[in-house]
Amino acid sequence: MKRLFLIVLDSFGIGEEPDAYLWNDEGSNTLGAIRENENFDCPNLKKLGLFNIDGVGGGIDCPQAAYARMRESSMGKDTTIGHWEIAGIISPKPLPTYPNGFPKEVVEEFERLTGRKTLCNLPYSGTEVIKDYGQESIKTGALIIYTSADSVFQIAAHEDVVPVPELYRYCEIARNLLQGEHGVGRVIARPFEGEYPFKRTARRHDYSLIPPKNTMLDLLKKAGYDTISVGKIYDIFAGKSVSESNRTVSNADGMQKTMEMLDRDFNGICFTNLVDFDMLYGHRNDIDGYAKAATEFDRWLGGFLPKLKDQDLLMITADHGCDPKTPSTDHSREYVPMMLYGKGIKPINLGTRPTFADMSATVLDYFGVDKEDTCGTSFLAEVSE
């Protein structure tokens, strides 16, 4: 029996990539923005080798994990493309974005299919959009639709006006509509509640594109392994080849559910996404909050590591950056860290890897599953004692 825990610290970038200028992300460094903050204290990540990674600085003499700096090969910096690449798909074309809002014909068709009018249709902060349009939405029953620099179509409505199941149904309509040319990476339900200025609830739900090719999840499940998701992994992969889904409402909830998996005799992968780094702190330029979240994860990690069994592996990474120190509140084109820990794993520097997909190839190699047409090169042989 083998278990591998793959944890994605959503948006935990470690410095701009060489092509960051294509996204106006020069100078972005998410880790650099938080590591000097008084709330940042991550001794366990330091022991694993986070600061020994190329370009990070401040490492120690004897780290405990194999570590690498991972470069994104796909043309994008969003959650969907980042996770797809981690799972073995390189996307040569970016998913569509709408800096001026969605085309008139798309909006009109959405209104016809849902029977509701819409408001906004602009790139917007998720907290600001409900302040600016929430009252009108409640008064008229119109849906608030908005986007960001990412490939997303977001639908917000007050839960007292549009019940959550109905909002989900509208998202399914949008997902079916937004295919092909307008195939955004995610349609996202954004319910909110309370009185002005309103508060977003934890009942967010993502509707992703189905991955265009097989991922490591497909290959693992086909080979008979468990593919367990914690957090929004199920949504990112549109549920494809996920054998068990565990939804979460926060980082703390995701960490608890991942910890509980240590007591499970599963045979396969536990794939976790901790979204608060991105959703609550990166997008809101909250350096203090981001630093605190990193510290909370590190403390949790201190309890998690000693409980790993001899055959267990732990891989920690990220899917993109979201530097809370820059004027932008959007994702940033950054390298991401990779730390691989377990008995029999040599604590070596794997340098800078050319693609996130090397992680997928390594995971499949560990389970003895042929990577078939997925991308990436395994580094398992380099780290195995």
Domain ranges in the chain are 3-93+211-383, 104-208
Domain 3-93+211-383: which CATH class?
alpha beta
CB 74 within 8 A of CB 91: yes
For 272-285, the DSSP string reads EEE-HIIIIIITTT
89-120 per-position pLDDT tens digit = 999 998 999 999 999 999 999 999 999 999 99
CB 34 within 8 A of CB 278: no
The band of 122, judged by pLDDT with boundaries at 50, 70 and 90, is very high
84-94 per-position pLDDT tens digit = 999 999 999 98
For the chain, what is the mean pLDDT? 97
Residue 322 has pLDDT above 90, yes or no: yes
Q: In terms of Cα–Cα distance, which of 298, 212, 320 is closest to 40?
A: 298
The band of 345, judged by pLDDT with boundaries at 50, 70 and 90, is very high
The helices-and-strands tally (H runs, E runs) of the chain is: 13, 14
Q: Which residue has the tokens 């349609």?
A: 187
Residue 74 has pLDDT above 90, yes or no: yes
CB 216 within 8 A of CB 89: no
Residue 227 has pLDDT above 90, yes or no: yes
How far is 249 from 230, CA to CA, in rounded Å? Answer: 11
Q: What is the pLDDT of residue 202?
A: 87
The band of 253, judged by pLDDT with boundaries at 50, 70 and 90, is very high
User: Sign of the C-alpha dihedral, residues 366, 370, 372, 377?
Assistant: positive
Residue 30 CB partners (closer than 8 Å, separation 6+): 11, 12, 13, 14, 282, 290, 321, 322, 323, 324, 332, 334
189-203 per-position pLDDT tens digit = 999 999 999 999 989
pTM of the predicted protein model: 0.91
How far is 139 from 38, CA to CA, in rounded Å? Answer: 44
What is the largest distance, in Å, between two alpha-carbon atoms of the chain? Answer: 65
Residue 20 has pLDDT above 90, yes or no: yes
115 in the Ramachandran plot: left (φ > 0), alpha (ψ -120 to 50) or beta?
Answer: left
For the segment 282-301, the average pLDDT, to the nearest whole number, is 97
Q: What is the pLDDT of residue 385?
A: 84
Query: What are the distances in angstroms from CA 258 to CA 230, 238, 247?
Result: 7, 20, 11
The band of 1, judged by pLDDT with boundaries at 50, 70 and 90, is confident
Say how many C-beta atoms besides its own lie within 10 A of residue 196's C-beta: 9
For the segment 293-307, the average pLDDT, to the nearest whole number, is 98
The CATH architecture to which 104-208 belongs is 2-Layer Sandwich (3.30)
The band of 262, judged by pLDDT with boundaries at 50, 70 and 90, is very high
